[in-house]
Structure 1
Amino acid sequence: MTAIVCVDKNWAIGRENRLLFRISADLKHFRALTTGKTVVMGKNTLLSLPGAKPLPDRRNLVVSTTMAPREGVEIARSIEEAAALAGEDAVLMGGAQLYRALLPRCERVLVTQVDAAAEGADAFFPNLDAAPDWTVETVGEWQEENGLRFRYVDYVRRT
């Protein structure tokens, strides 16, 4: 499994169930990397999507013990069930609790690093730079959009 995440300087990922940054280039990057794949998310992440609708052209797998069935969504009732249903090519897209629970099953993390510190963040991704079992594989060039500098950094699990 691969995780994909957008973080600020402090590895913050969200505030009040919303993304911290809206960078159109990053959204296109996300779409390109996830289209045609299984995306794994928690219920709150699904509810935070536009219209609370599943992402098009992807298999949407939601991990929730309480969510009622809904069109276009498969529901896993546990982390173990999600991991079994997801398969190796799945992309984990959050939220924070699910990242923490499934990160040990990930072999790669695709990070969008934003060169800013978001105020009021209440959801965080584990700091991979401080984690001994992760190493940087590639670092992209800094880009800028709407005054925000960002780059793509790919991490792989150390073997």
Structure 2
Amino acid sequence: MEVMKSDGDHIKIILKEMSVKDAESFYQLYFGDESADRDRTTNEEYMNPVQFTEHILSLCEELYSIQTVENENIVIGDCALHHWNQEEKKIEIGGALLPEYWGKGIMSAAFELLIAVAKEKYQVNVLVAKTEITNLKALKFAEKLGFQKISNEDDIIILEKRVL
């Protein structure tokens, strides 16, 4: 299992390669308290934590949980590389972080580590980020990291960053 640690002045984080054994904590990132309600429903599209984690893992080249060095046992977010286009040397980057950890440099540190993986392992030329047009915080974050708006697809803004 690959584990990466950040350095620098910001909050120190650890990225751990995600696996099905992390299903409960990973699922909580996306569904939180809703997961208890979902357990009582009969929705055909419902995925339990293991199914959800397996599904997301199947879509990603790299998927990591984010923890702080101070508390390695709590998953506070995730970050991923997905939709690798080998021909164009492009890969999408994305992630999520619990709101109480926003604005602390955590996702910047995670993306810094993930971008290094993208460059080294996949020899990417371009990183792609997508966010909903209404997600102004994610848009501002991506632009701060050097991503530029390229186009829109319905309610999604597509941004790119050259990493050569």
TM-score range, shorter chain: 0.3 to 0.5
Structure 1 or 2, whichever has the larger Rg, is 2
Which has more helix, going by share of residues? 2
TM-score (norm: length of structure 2): 0.34
TM-score (norm: length of structure 1): 0.35
